[in-house]
Amino acid sequence: MIACSCDRRRFCQALLPLGVTACLGLRVRGLLAETVQEGTQEAPEHKFDQPMPRPLTYRERFELAYASHFIPFLNILEEQIGREDVIESLKQLALQEAEEYARYVVREMGNDISVFKRLYHPSVPQANSIMTIEVTEDSESAYGIKISECLWAEVFQAAGAADLGYYAVCYGDVPFAGFVNPDIDLELSRTIMEGNSCCNLRYYYKS
């Protein structure tokens, strides 16, 4: 009923961030933070804070968050307000998250090319658990990677929602590089989410 009584775009923008914040929390930053904290927390005092008997795999976590909740939510939202407004809101949310994460990265890691090497490298267990990464270029002025497997793409494609997955997951990558450092750009020539065999990313200084 709300969708019929208010502006469609405002309705989408109001609901979408509230509905998907928990899902998008599984992005790289959340996974990194979670892994660092494992094994360092004191025993919880309340039963609700006890660890589950069996930890979820990365695939199970993604399927729970995206296939079971996020994607069905987007499908319902699309019926209510239309695909264009859903995509526009995903783009706005991706930009918001990219800027927020960039502030965190700059504060914790700095703002040069090495940041992306530390985030997206085959030797980083957290990144390697959800993507298969190959370094294609590594210099002081540029860093390139090829991603041949991506858990996000796998889950969204299996649900028939890869086009929405692109805006939810991939769209913010290019502006993220600029938010980290305005002098750094990202050449994102293709993605698995769009149906290609791999993702090609090249971070480089503009001049």
pLDDT under 50: residue ranges of the chain: 1-38
pLDDT digits (tens, 9 = 90+) for 79-97: 999 999 999 999 999 999 9
Predicted TM-score of the model (pTM)? 0.78
CB atoms within 10 A of CB 107: 9
* Distance in angstroms (rounded) separating the CA atoms of residues 53 and 55: 7
Q: Return the pLDDT at 28.
A: 45
The beta-carbon contacts of 104-108 under 8 Å, at least 24 apart in sequence, are 104/29, 105/180, 106/180, 106/181
What are the backbone dihedrals phi and psi of residue 19, each rounded to the nearest 5 degrees, phi first? Answer: -80, -25
